[in-house]
């Protein structure tokens, strides 16, 4: 979600769902819950960023407080599992079941042998 800089009459909010493969209802719940958390805790939004963050080196991104997204589903699950805010947004029942479901999905994914792995390693070993 972003609010582009503009004169008051031209102000608008843009909502872009993060991943078309994800559950849009869960994504929207997170967006609303995080927005509400920001309002309740009076969290100021960061300064506007006009640069392309993908052109920045790691030191520049750190300087601006720009963090990277998890690099894998496993890292995303670990981050989700440590988030009290996600537990608050979803409620304990949904949170725990979603966490368990995604951990199972990650375990199945990691144990799957792909065609690339077979082509790459079968002749070597």
pLDDT tens column, 13-58: 888 877 888 898 999 999 999 999 999 999 998 888 888 999 999 9
CB atoms closer than 10 angstroms to residue 83: 15
Confidence band of 91 (pLDDT split at 50, 70, 90): very high
pTM: 0.76
Taking residues 84-88, report their average pLDDT.
Answer: 98
Q: Of 51-55, 83-87, 88-92, which range is least confident?
A: 51-55
Residues 25, 83, 12, CA angle at the centre, nearest 5°? 50
Are 65 and 46 a contacting pair, CB within 8 Å? yes
Comparing 3 with 61, the larger pLDDT belongs to: 61
Which residues lie below 8 Å from residue 36, measured CB to CB, with a gap of 6+?
none
Which residues lie below 8 Å from residue 2, measured CB to CB, with a gap of 6+?
13, 14, 16
């Amino acid at each position: 979600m972003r609010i582009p800089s503009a004169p008051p009459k031209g102000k608008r909010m843009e909502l872009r769902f993060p991943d078309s493969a994800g559950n849009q209802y869960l994504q929207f719940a997170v967006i609303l819950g995080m927005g509400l958390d920001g309002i309740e805790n009076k969290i100021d939004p960061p300064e506007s960023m006009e640069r392309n963050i993908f052109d920045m080196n790691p030191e520049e991104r750190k300087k601006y407080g720009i963090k990277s997204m998890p690099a894998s589903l496993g890292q995303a699950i670990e981050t989700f599992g440590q988030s009290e805010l996600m537990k608050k947004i979803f409620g304990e029942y949904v949170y725990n079941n979603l966490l368990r479901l995604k951990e199972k999905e990650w375990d199945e994914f990691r144990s799957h042998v792909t065609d690339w792995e077979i082509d790459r390693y079968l002749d070597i070993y």
